[in-house]
């Protein structure tokens, strides 16, 4: 099972990886997933902030995500730094924040403290669960040790024999920490929930996907009037199309049990600078993958990516029968777009000839952002 670890904190990524990978989970850091995002932690609890971080990444990635909000609570400081641990007193470095805690406890007898970790797990279908782990201990008199991160050099866990977390081998923390406890609960949950092995995952296209994508597309070229292309392109030509698109736009594939079931991408609408905020979108599903809501999932994931880029207008060029549905073409695609909130922009009558028949084509449109002035430039994907 693949999980994105939604954090910009490398220490956290390392710890999750060390715990989850030996258990058979494939982990991807937020950075590796190509998601560059700093979520504003506006919640007033660890739980709320963990959910904010996990959901923000889920909206972009549409696959399993974990995020945690964690921190140090010091009893004599009224629970501070708490949810402000990463930005305690606005201090810029971890060292300064540690010193601020030590300073706050100068001459104070009660040095009791605890680390708290609240993990939010968002599942493929968008449902979420929270898991909380607590590690009790006390604050040391001074900093000790180089392992770990954050407040580890000043935290002495109750089960650590007087050593700060940073001065113990990293394996100790992996087994005893607040994060380890919360992760264990998460893993238990993942193992006990109904099998989701093979649930569809949406990811960026890879060059090695081209043969399967072409196989899906070839069906529409040969058997339908959904595309007005009449000859199946060669594999090298199809590969060129993929790399041309991904030089600037997202191309996503939906995979289930290692088999690609569909894909969606955006491309240039018109090659003139003033059209930068508009793009044309395309979605194809393998014939046996239709009617499962997968087209919608692909479109939503694509729209989220395009929204991040600052794209505003989406256009889809959709073939429709000139009269009744026939064996090559139905109104299903136009109706699908309408259900997704697209509206008709224009109809081109009898503009495609395939299988000895004339077909209409409609342009459909959808706005996904606000048209302003000045308008910020589009952030192209692969530049
Ligand atoms: P993300 O929000 O991107 O995950 P962050 O570092 O800002 O990264 P938090 O908002 O959850 O994460 O803040 C957690 C802070 O609490 C972290 O920066 C440390 O200062 C401290 N902290 C949490 N877990 C810790 C641990 O295991 N060891 C030491 N300090 C920890």
Q: Compute φ and ψ for 175, nearest 5 degrees.
A: -95, -30
Please provide the average confidence, as pLDDT, over all residues in the chain.
93
Q: CB–CB of 108/47 below 8 Å? A: no
Kindly report the number of other CB atoms within 10 A of residue 204's CB atom: 14
Distance from Cα 142 to the centre of ligand 1, integer Å: 20
How many CB atoms sit inside 10 A of residue 170's CB? Answer: 14
- The pLDDT value recorded for residue 256 is 87
Say which range, 54-58, 82-86, 162-166, 306-310, has the weakest mean pLDDT.
306-310
348 with 362: CB under 8 angstroms?
Answer: yes
Distance CA 148, CA 138 (A): 17
Give the pLDDT of residue 134.
Answer: 97
Say whether pLDDT at 383 is over 90.
Answer: no
Protein residue with least CA distance to atom 22, ligand 1: 71
pLDDT value at 199 more than 80:
no
Q: Which residues are catalytic?
A: 69
pLDDT tens readout for residues 227-267: 999 999 999 999 999 999 999 999 999 998 889 999 999 99
Q: What is the mean pLDDT of residues 59-70?
A: 91
Looking at ligand 1, which atom is closest to the CA of residue 165? 28
Element (H, E) at 236: helix 235-246
CB-ligand 1 contact for 167 (6 Å cutoff):
no
CA distances from residue 165 to 46, 110, 147, 153, 297 in whole angstroms, order as listed: 22, 19, 7, 6, 43
Ligand 1 pocket test, pick from 151, 167, 168 with the greatest ligand atom count within 8 Å of Cβ, gives 151
Element counts in the chain: helices (H) and strands (E): 9, 13
- Atom index in ligand 1 nearest the CA of residue 46 equals 11
* Residue owning tokens 């939604």: 6
Please check the confidence at residue 194 and state whether its pLDDT lies above 70: no
Cα-atom radius of gyration of the chain, to the nearest Å? Answer: 26
Expressed in angstroms and rounded, the spacing between residue 272 Cα and the centre of ligand 1 is: 46
Q: Has residue 342 got a pLDDT over 90? A: yes
Domains located in the chain, CATH noted = 2-192 (3.90.950.10), 202-367 (3.40.630.30)
pTM: 0.57
Q: Is the pLDDT of residue 196 over 60?
A: no
Which of 7, 8, 9, 164 best tests ligand 1's pocket when mutated (most atoms within 8 Å of CB)? 9
| Pairwise CA distance, residues 130 & 189, whole Å | 10
| Confidence at residue 198, expressed as pLDDT on a 0 to 100 scale | 60
């Amino acid at each position: 099972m693949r999980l994105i670890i939604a954090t910009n904190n490398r220490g956290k990524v390392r710890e999750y990886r060390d715990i989850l990978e030996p258990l058979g989970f494939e982990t991807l850091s937020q950075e590796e997933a190509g998601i560059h995002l700093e979520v504003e932690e506006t919640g007033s609890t660890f739980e709320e902030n963990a959910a904010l971080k996990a959901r923000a990444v889920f909206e972009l990635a549409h696959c399993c995500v974990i995020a945690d909000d964690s921190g140090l609570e010091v009893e004599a400081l009224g629970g501070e730094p708490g949810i402000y641990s990463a930005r305690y007193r606005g201090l810029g470095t971890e060292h300064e924040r540690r010193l601020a805690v030590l300073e706050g406890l100068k001459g104070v007898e009660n040095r009791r403290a605890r680390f708290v970790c609240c993990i939010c797990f968002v599942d493929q279908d968008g449902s979420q669960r929270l898991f909380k782990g607590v590690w009790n201990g006390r604050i040391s008199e001074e900093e000790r040790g180089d392992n770990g991160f954050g407040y580890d050099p000043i935290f002495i866990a109750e089960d650590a024999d007087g050593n700060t977390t940073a001065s113990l081998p990293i394996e100790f923390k992996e087994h005893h920490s607040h994060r380890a406890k919360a992760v264990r609960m998460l893993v238990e949950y993942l193992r006990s929930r109904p099998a989701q092995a093979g649930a569809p995952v949406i990811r960026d296209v890879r060059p090695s996907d081209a043969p399967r994508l072409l196989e899906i597309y070839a069906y529409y070229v040969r058997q339908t009037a959904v595309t007005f292309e009449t000859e199946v392109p060669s594999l090298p030509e199809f590969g060129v199309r993929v790399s041309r698109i991904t030089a600037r736009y997202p191309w996503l594939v939906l995979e289930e049990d290692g088999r690609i079931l569909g894909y969606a991408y955006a491309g240039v609408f018109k090659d003139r600078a003033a059209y930068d905020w508009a793009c044309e979108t395309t979605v194809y599903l393998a014939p046996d993958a239709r009617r499962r809501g997968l087209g919608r999932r692909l479109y939503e994931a694509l729209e989220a990516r395009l929204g991040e880029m600052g794209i505003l207008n989406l256009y889809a060029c959709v073939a429709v029968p000139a009269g009744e549905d026939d064996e090559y073409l139905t109104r299903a695609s136009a109706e699908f777009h309408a259900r997704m909130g697209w509206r008709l922009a224009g109809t081109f009558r009898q503009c495609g000839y395939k299988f000895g028949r004339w077909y209409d084509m409609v342009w459909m449109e959808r706005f996904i952002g606000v048209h302003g002035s000045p308008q910020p430039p589009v952030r192209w994907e692969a530049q």
